[in-house]
Structure 1
Amino acid sequence: MKRNKYISGVALASGFMLGQGAAAQSNVTLYGIADLGARYSSGLSAANAPTSNTSTGITSGVNNTSRWGFKGQESLGNDMAAVFHLEGGLNLDTGSSAKSDKLFDRIAFVGLKTGAGTLTAGRQATILSDAINPVDPLGMRNASFNPNINVTALSNTAFGTHSFGTQYGTSGYNDNFYRLDNMLKFTSEMGPVTARVSYSFGEVPGDSSALSTTGAALSYQRDGFVVSGGYMKFKNRADFALDAYTLGAAYKLGEVTLKANYGNNKADTAINKETKQRIASGGGSVLVSPGNLLTIAYYRVRRDSTGFSQDGFDRLYAYLEHDLSKRTTLYVEADSTKWNGNAAGVTGTLANSTHGRGVTLGMMHKF
């Protein structure tokens, strides 16, 4: 009963926002992505972890993460506008929210847009994510398995036989720092240059530094050429630091787009203990015929930690997408992973396969 009241309250609030937006002539949009595919894998579990078995099933978000949300703005005059954005992830195969503890786990902010830039406050993706977005070889597809999202932008640092094992910043989760609570972000566009700075309040009583983050990013885009980079410093509750940066470029020439990126991060996980990660990636896409896009991408991830050396993996992707309409896309995805060092690990007493392969046939609809 409590859950039903909660859902009814959300629906009522959503209707109120839409009604208020119409009365005030605000621009309010309800949108989403529904992405579902049938997947077969060998040497990978349903969650894409190393295993010695095969796996089949229905999985959500192999192309783009299934989601729903509201966004909009209202003009305030004098070249100013109020903006807001609410977005939650979905597991389309089960109908559940991506995060059971957060309705709008992906985005929840309000802000002020001016001629100088936009200031937003709330739960937001980090500056590392912003910097990677235009230069990721896979185009930010397959968020749960894409190494630039997982390792460069720190959404899942727990692969293999060891992990960071602690929370840096205000994400609310160990080994996932891709989105942060309590964040202030300022974005300014100056012709072809976009600059971003951010600060997330740790909100730990008696220690203003613990769980806080700072970041800055800069990108340049003109005539099909993009260069984008960013840096962030995270703190955990013990005030140990995690430093991360990313730098990449993209170039579009006709129907071909080439992209490359390099990421690096180092975390102090305890006294005299640290973990370092290096991520190199490259690839491209080509429109092979009208409505048919082929994307190839390669990622090389290496991790050194106290007691471990050269853990990591090499991963190759291929996507073929066919547009049925402007909103609906059929796709075939294939991936191959070779685990390095101790990254494959064991399940019980059985060593996991050092190679993982998967193929997905899916459909994505945007609304």
Structure 2
Amino acid sequence: MRHSCALTALLVASGTCPAQTGIDLYGIVDVGLRAAGGLNANNAPTPSGHTIAVNSGIDQTSRWGIKGQESLGGAWRAVFRLEGGINADTGAQAKSDRLFDRLAWAGLDSPYGQLALGRQPNLLSDALITVDPLGKRFASFNPNINVAGLSNTAFGTHAFGRQYGPSGYADNFYRLDNTVKYTANAGPWQARAAYSAGEVAGDSSASSSHGVALAYQQPDWVVSGATSQFRSRDGLPLDAWTLGAAAKAGAWQFKANAARNKADTGPGKTVTQRVLSAGVSRQAARDVLVTTALYSVRREATGFVDDGFDRAFLFVEKMLAPRTTAYAEADVTAWRGDAAGKTASRANDRHGTGLTLGLMQKF
């Protein structure tokens, strides 16, 4: 939506409104009523019983943001984007220590590509946009977001237990501070390269990250992949890659992806994670979309029993209006090894189920 100069000034703390091409306020509010068995309100395993909760971001993550652009002449533009997560069930920020935890960058668009500097998603996340079987739905519970994209590497009885790259958090390296990202398009090809500075005095590699991504897209199919390398503050490496494809055939869409990451977590200690995923979507009616997906996660870690989990999803979405969607979601999880963990010395249930009825509104 286009705002007046006064509103723009309020939103971006600017005293003037000089001939800007545009500044937009946008967002998503997604909230649902969820019933779960073997899972608590945060979708972590529990010993037994059922949970009723109001959850945020089941279909798409609740968020708000400001984006803008200004023409610099010719095909050159200055651009920026600020975006923060919202817990719609409580009204709180998704990250209490950051107003704009999702995106905070400025850059230049030109005929030669886009150069952006600031807090941005890692290249694994970028590569998953077009090939994740769920279309990045249910981000907090989606294994491609959490394990392949490194948003939450902690589950079961252990975790990476440290920060790799300048994410600001242990066990979460999905978005990185201090990132320089370049994106270029040439016909059906899209290439990305990124470097995230660790900003550790005297050691330029500590807490840093770098990587490349490449995608080839045609009207009915796409192949997308990325590889990234991360370093901890004490120089331990984490190497990761992801590769997937998607194809359309009439009302059907098929997606599949494979990903792997391996981290040194200490002297003689490593953690290796693998994710295989596949899914199918079908436009069941003009305003109804049905999506199914299956994820298989396996983990090997020094000193621990091999573990992992299998998780299946079903989403049925009905568009009520251009900006409003009602949805029903169901999921089943089967934990392997000791991945379900324990709660107060009690073994958690080895299976979890969930059912959500929700509403998503965009603005």
* TM-score (normalizing by structure 1): 0.95
Displacement of 1:207 after TM fit? 1.0
Cα pair 1:18 1:28 within 8 Å, conserved:
no
Please tell me whether residue 14 in structure 1 is matched to residue 18 in structure 2.
no
Aligned to 1:258: 254
Q: How far, CA to CA, are the matches of 2:216 and 2:295 in structure 1?
A: 24
Q: How far, CA to CA, are the matches of 2:12 and 2:235 in structure 1?
A: 43
Please tell me whether residue 76 in structure 1 is matched to residue 69 in structure 2.
no
Gaps of 5+ in 1: 1-9
Displacement of 1:346 after TM fit? 1.1
The change in CA–CA distance for 1:220 and 1:18 in structure 2 (over 3 A counts) is farther
Q: How far, CA to CA, are the matches of 2:15 and 2:62 in structure 1?
A: 22
Q: Deviations over 1:35-83 (max 9, x none)?
A: 0000000001111111123211100000000000011211101321100
Matched ranges for 1:20-31 at <5 A: 20=17, 23-31=18-26
Q: Deviations over 1:267-287 (max 9, x none)?
A: 000010000000000001001
Please tell me whether residue 214 in structure 1 is matched to residue 210 in structure 2.
yes
Percent of matched pairs sharing the same residue: 55
Q: Deviations over 1:267-316 (max 9, x none)?
A: 00001000000000000100111101000000000000001232110000
Q: How far, CA to CA, are the matches of 1:354 and 1:43 in structure 2?
A: 8
Q: How far, CA to CA, are the matches of 2:258 and 2:16 in structure 1?
A: 46
Aligned to 2:4: none
Q: How far, CA to CA, are the matches of 1:76 and 1:12 in structure 2?
A: 21
Q: How far, CA to CA, are the matches of 2:223 and 2:26 in structure 1?
A: 29
Equivalent in 331, 334, 343 of residue 335 of structure 1: 331
Letter of the 1:28 counterpart: I
Aligned to 1:163: 159
Equivalent in 100, 106, 130 of residue 104 of structure 1: 100
Aligned to 1:48: 43
Matched ranges for 1:85-164 at <5 A: 85-164=81-160
Aligned to 2:31: 36
Displacement of 1:13 after TM fit? 4.8
Aligned to 2:265: 269
Displacement of 1:12 after TM fit? 5.7
Q: How far, CA to CA, are the matches of 2:15 and 2:144 in structure 1?
A: 36
Q: How far, CA to CA, are the matches of 1:230 and 1:48 in structure 2?
A: 29
The change in CA–CA distance for 1:232 and 1:18 in structure 2 (over 3 A counts) is farther
Paired residues in the alignment total 356
Runs of 4+ in structure 1 deviating by more than 6 angstroms, as ranges, are none
- State the SS of the aligned residue for 1:324: strand
Give the CA RMSD over aligned residues.
1.3
Letter of the 1:32 counterpart: G
* TM-score (normalizing by structure 2): 0.96
